[in-house]
Structure 1
């Protein structure tokens, strides 16, 4: 039928009012050209009392069909918009979570780097502290050299070096260590012996008084006593020895020892 066919392909039609107007216009045109009249003529001839509603029913069916199609298209478009909105919202939430996760990762990485830097700094500070050595007397000089000969020493030679010092001068630990002897040492008078972290020992003799005790931890430059002339001594000074062991006879060159630890003499 001329008014029953529709163009192929899916497209969004005009508004329902426009479609209704077009439907009515189409029916009117067909009626004017006589198409409706010719098609409906047998029905009018058969029963004149029942043919008045047929054109109206056909026209109503076309309009209802157009309305239904429009409603379906509107609903589909609304659902499409809702789906697109939901997808956009979900994507935005996913992007926000990703940004938050990345920010957290960066913050954790920064905190870790700061901790590691602090730990490295602490280790370096400890390393410096452990390897820092100073002279046992500030502003003094060596008055008697290592291995100097003479009858004053039972071994026939000097087992350490003497630092010039007036009585009561501050005597300092040359490096980090533990006091293993503090008290009377015979010919050494009042003396202190310290074991250092590298396994070496230092001795400080002829002290007038002691400031530390056995087992005490000492730091570089810490006062351990005051200089004097106790024991086998010809006058106030500091006798200083460097040793490989705690006992007498394990002495090594004190000047070379101090210089190897960065002390200028």
Structure 2
């Protein structure tokens, strides 16, 4: 870095100016008699031509010495001034660098705090959204559970309302009618006649227990296909044949009107229907008139 020095600061006059000034000073001193007093002894001796010779009194040497000292002092002052200016400039540069560093650090801190604030706000937003979604999910699950519970209650109430009293009897297929009478003759039956009655029913129609009793057979029954046999509470037996599916098991107690299976076309059958028998024992051949049996228990058929 180049340093400039202001005009007139620590600048000494040139040697020519100083010499002239010294000469002028000498003349002044001579006019006042000071120089004459000092040099008087040296001017007493005349020269060869009769003119007094000036001898060196030491004043000129002193003046020259003073000039050299003044030059060195001036050079030192100039060097010190330059060093001071350089030090001041360096200090100012360091101060500006520190200030810039401080401003940069403050700006970075501000940006970091702003980024942290935004991240916290985003995290809080996501947390709130997740909480809201969880609450909505819990509410939906609660509503679904309440709906299922209500449906179960309604179903149970409906079944209770539809189910007849424990001692009463019902048709095995609600609202149906007899399509083939008891003891009808024909080659379709191994005994030569029909041992039960057929109720009109399409595949999948609900088949019900005609009265209260206990399941003693539930499964494949040969010519009867899928069949169920119930020992009724009065000691008689009822049989339900050609079922598409069975929904009860042996040993299970059933109430009047309770579903025991679905009508179908299994076994020796020529179309979907329900074969219904009433018996005095679980054995084949102990059949009685199913229509008369149901009527005796108050069923309108």
Deviations 1:206-251 (A, max 9, x none): 0000000000000000000000000000000000000000011000
Aligned to 2:252: 216
Deviations 1:108-132 (A, max 9, x none): xxxxxxxxxxxxxxxxxxxx84420
Deviations 1:159-203 (A, max 9, x none): 000000010000000000000000000000000000011100000
**Would the aligned equivalents of 1:134 and 1:175 in 2 still touch at CA under 8 Å?**
yes
Q: 1: CA distance between counterparts of 2:233 and 2:205?
A: 26
Match status 1:203 vs 2:222: no
**Would the aligned equivalents of 1:130 and 1:197 in 2 still touch at CA under 8 Å?**
no
Aligned to 1:148: 184
Q: 2: CA distance between counterparts of 1:196 and 1:214?
A: 14
Residue segments in structure 1 that go unaligned for 5+ positions in a row: 1-127
TM-score, length-scaled by structure 2: 0.45
Aligned to 1:185: 221
Q: 1: CA distance between counterparts of 2:230 and 2:166?
A: 14
3-state DSSP class of the match of 1:155? coil
Q: 2: CA distance between counterparts of 1:198 and 1:221?
A: 16
Aligned to 1:246: 282
* Matched residue count: 138
Aligned to 1:234: 270
**Following TM superposition, where does structure 1 have runs of at least 4 consecutive aligned residues deviating by more than 6 angstroms?**
none
3-state DSSP class of the match of 1:238? strand
Q: How do residues 1-265 of structure 1 correspond to structure 2 at under 5 angstroms?
A: 129-265=165-301
Greater relative contact order (CA < 8 Å, ≥ 6 in sequence): 1
What root-mean-square deviation, in Å, do the aligned CA atoms of Structure 1 and Structure 2 show? 0.9
3-state DSSP class of the match of 1:131? coil
Residue segments in structure 2 that go unaligned for 5+ positions in a row: 1-163
